Copies of this chain bind each other. A is one copy, B any other.
Amino acid sequence: MPVPAQRTRPGPRRALTEDQILDAALTLLDAGGANAASVRAIAAQVGVAPNAVYTYFPDKAAIVKALVERLLGQVDHGVFIDRDQPWRQRVEALALELRERLSAHPGAVPLLIGGPMDGPHALALNERLLELLADAGLNPTDAARASYLLIVYVFGSIALEVADLPQPGPLPPESERIDTRLDAFTATPAEHYPRTAAAAAAMAGYISTEQYLWGLRRMLDGITASTTAHTEAAGV
């Protein structure tokens, strides 16, 4: 998003900024879920007529795109940029940081995965991940494939988690979270789906972060197993 040139200075009054509109959209998303951020609701939130929004963004898709970029920009790179840390730990830090940032706004998640993530912040994150995998000793092809695998996992996990949520609004603390998925499985007649019922029982004690990290580590195991020669040389 380029900085507007200084020559086009005020007209009668500039009542808003792009950021205020994105703030309003996010507030609505957090309170009412993915469908709550209508252009009209955003306009009402910031106190203008619906069509005034189109002074700042060409259409709703542009608002969504800018919002997605903003969320990805909030990811703290510090936690996984440190090359002195073991690379697996850095991947875990990245995965946890992304998950935490996105879980903070479940209503925005469907917008995230609803379109291509090709903005500058998305590309910057991808770049960091590729650096990380290069540090791990992967060649460019393996790094590219592994990065896509990890991205699918991170966003897929969050998307399915949000999809299983019973209602819009902020995520409750993990300990109190009601998981529709586990609910459905637990309510499943064991005579029809014995293994699903058993799996629900086996998983009942676990929290989702644990499951998330378990999956992530299995993927890292698989990635390193296929590229052992390189990882040995890379150290740590």
Q: Chain A residues in contact with chain B, CB under 8 A?
A: 110, 113-118, 123-124, 126-127, 130-131, 134, 140-141, 143-149, 151-153, 155-157, 159-160, 163-164, 180-181, 184-185, 188, 192-196, 198-200, 202-203, 211, 214-215, 217-223, 225-226
CB neighbours of A131 from chain B (8 A): 195
How far is B52's CA from A163's CA once the two chains are assembled, in angstroms? 29
- Contact (Cβ within 8 A) B215 A226: no
Known: A144-B199, A218-B223. A160 touches B151 (CB 8 A): yes
- Contact (Cβ within 8 A) A118 B180: yes
- Contact (Cβ within 8 A) B152 A157: yes
Instruction: Report 17 cross-chain contacts, Cβ distance below 8 Å, ordered by A residue.
Output: A113-B163, A118-B180, A126-B185, A126-B199, A127-B194, A127-B195, A130-B198, A140-B195, A144-B203, A147-B199, A148-B211, A152-B153, A152-B160, A155-B156, A155-B160, A218-B223, A221-B222
Q: Which of B134, B152, B164, B193 contacts A127 (CB 8 A)?
A: B193
CB neighbours of A223 from chain B (8 A): 218, 222
Taking the closest CB of chain B, its distance from the CB of A146, in whole angstroms, is 7
CB neighbours of A134 from chain B (8 A): 195
How far is B201's CA from A88's CA once the two chains are assembled, in angstroms? 25
How far is B117's CA from A99's CA once the two chains are assembled, in angstroms? 22
Q: Which residue of B lies closest to A183 (CB)?
A: B118
How far is B126's CA from A198's CA once the two chains are assembled, in angstroms? 12
Q: Which residue of B lies closest to A146 (CB)?
A: B218
- Contact (Cβ within 8 A) A115 B163: yes
Q: Which of B110, B118, B188, B202 contacts A123 (CB 8 A)?
A: B188
CB neighbours of A221 from chain B (8 A): 221-222, 225-226
Q: Which of B114, B126, B141 contacts A202 (CB 8 A)?
A: B141
How far is B170's CA from A9's CA once the two chains are assembled, in angstroms? 46
Known: A140-B202, A156-B159, A221-B222. A215 touches B145 (CB 8 A): yes
How far is B110's CA from A145's CA once the two chains are assembled, in angstroms? 24
Taking the closest CB of chain B, its distance from the CB of A68, in whole angstroms, is 11
How far is B192's CA from A184's CA once the two chains are assembled, in angstroms? 47
CB neighbours of A140 from chain B (8 A): 195, 198-199, 202
